[in-house]
Amino acid sequence: MTKNAEVWFSSQDGQRFKLSRQADLVFSEADGGRETIIRVDPSVTYQSILGIGCSFDEATVYNLRRMPEGDRVLKSLVDPVEGIGWNLMRICFGSSDFTAREYYSYDDVPEGGTDLELAHFSIQKDVEYGIVETIQKALSYNPDLKIFASPWSPPGWMKSSGVMGGGRLLSGYYEVAARYYRMAIQAYAAQGIPIYAMTLQNEPLMVHRAYPTCKMTWQEQRDFLKAVKKEFLAHDVRTQIWIFDHNFKDAMRYPARILEDAEAYAAADGVAFHAYEGRVEQMGQLHEVFPQKDLFFTEYSTWTTQGIDAILGYFRNWARSYNAWVACLDDKRQPNAGPHGASPTFVTVSSSDPAQYWRIAEYYLLGQISVFVRSGAHRIESDYGSRRTVTNAAFLNPDGTIVLVAVNQTGEAQPFRVVTPDGQFDAVLPDKSVATYRWPAG
């Protein structure tokens, strides 16, 4: 029986192709004989893929709720059939810098006060601001969606600064903070939202008074990790704990040091990374030292075909996931209460007329991965190729289909040949485009 590869294109300009189905390509017997050859071998497997997505930060939720078609837009993000199938989303335990509200935690008390018993704990603001409802709707559109959480700061009264901006979590409050996060997970569970994982602290090496941050050395995070794990075990909380949640450049100076401690190694389910500083190979280096510890890519938005090549590079360096940051802002890149400039978001809504919105090219470009690479897929062996022609990564889905995502960053169409143990096919990838090729294994 003749084997075909299904094909979809998206272009960097967002005009020529938008997850556009192309004519199938027919396999033939492998003979090499082409200048650019990508060899794919599904018998050589690497890490499993947990998911791909972005964030339900309060700014995104605020804009979705402003839009008359907000539910339709939400569905287009997470629905695996009618949308681009995001299946892993990040939420904030309390405020991040991307919010339309005053900064808050789940246990705010008057200045100078404390609440050691957490008697005032509540996620009611997440309910009032529509975050909980938005996640519930997303789960109805995609029941396989997983949620992980990150705190930008614990309550200010637990910190050396006394406020959510700056400072560090005081060691005398480790057990109280562990209870606080355990209660947050349980409160979300009571709303029908299981928290798959949490990172202990967003960007623990960042300290800034103007928005929620919390400095945490690797020694402090090591000790806090143990307190959180103890609290989770005592209350049968199965949520995974991911350490670090910061940049590639500190992979061997921060998470590696934590994982050298046997108790901490056992307590940590994974290591989370951002890409604002450093090289992706530094994440891969951590895998070489601790090959049994899962790696997750939890924050960084990237654009154009160069960005998709970068994302495929994260997977090639052992990441089990990819999450961009902030899914929907307005055309003035608001709301943003923090000091950092915002970047374009997958969906942009008019600041003057919320009925008007548009999707940028990256919605479709990332969809070239998220629509086709399903949770439980494994990355498989493939030649990387060259940025002068075509680069790629390949995956084997749980249903037995092989997915090859290929990127052409050049200004010219690039012909290439895909060679597998079962045959080959020839393809031409238009300039500045991303293509997905899918075919049955075996």
Domain residue spans of the chain: 4-47+379-440, 51-372
Q: Residue 253 above 80 pLDDT?
A: yes
Residue 347, classed as helix, strand or coil, is: strand
Strand order in the sheet with 328-330: 328-330, 347-349, 357-359
Task: To the nearest 10°, report the CA torsion of 242, 152, 57, 280.
Answer: -50
Structure-block tokens of residue 74: 């939400």
Residue 68 phi, psi dihedral angles, 5° rounding: -55, -30
pLDDT at 1: 60
Q: What is the mean pLDDT of the chain?
A: 97
What does pTM read for this prediction?
0.97
- Which tens digits make up the pLDDT trace of 197-229? 999 999 999 999 999 999 999 999 999 999 999
Q: Cα(182)–Cα(362) distance, rounded to whole angstroms?
A: 35
Q: What is the CATH number of domain 51-372?
A: 3.20.20.80
| Residue burial 322-332, b: 16+ Cβ < 10 Å; e: rest | bbbbbbbbbee
| Residues belonging to the chain | 442
User: How many C-beta atoms surround the C-beta of residue 30 within 10 A?
Assistant: 17
pLDDT at 30: 74
Structure-block tokens of residue 423: 């045959």
Q: Residue 32 above 80 pLDDT?
A: no
Q: What is the CATH number of domain 4-47+379-440?
A: 2.60.40.1180
Cβ 317 vs Cβ 284: under 8 Å: yes
pLDDT at 33: 64
pLDDT at 31: 74
In one letter, which amino acid is 48? S
Q: Span 280-307, mean pLDDT?
A: 98
- Which tens digits make up the pLDDT trace of 326-347? 999 999 999 999 999 988 999 9
Structure-block tokens of residue 441: 């294994």
Residue 345 phi, psi dihedral angles, 5° rounding: -110, 160
**Percent over 70 (pLDDT), the chain:** 99
- Which tens digits make up the pLDDT trace of 100-117? 999 999 999 999 999 999
Q: Span 250-264, mean pLDDT?
A: 99
Q: Residue 17 above 70 pLDDT?
A: yes
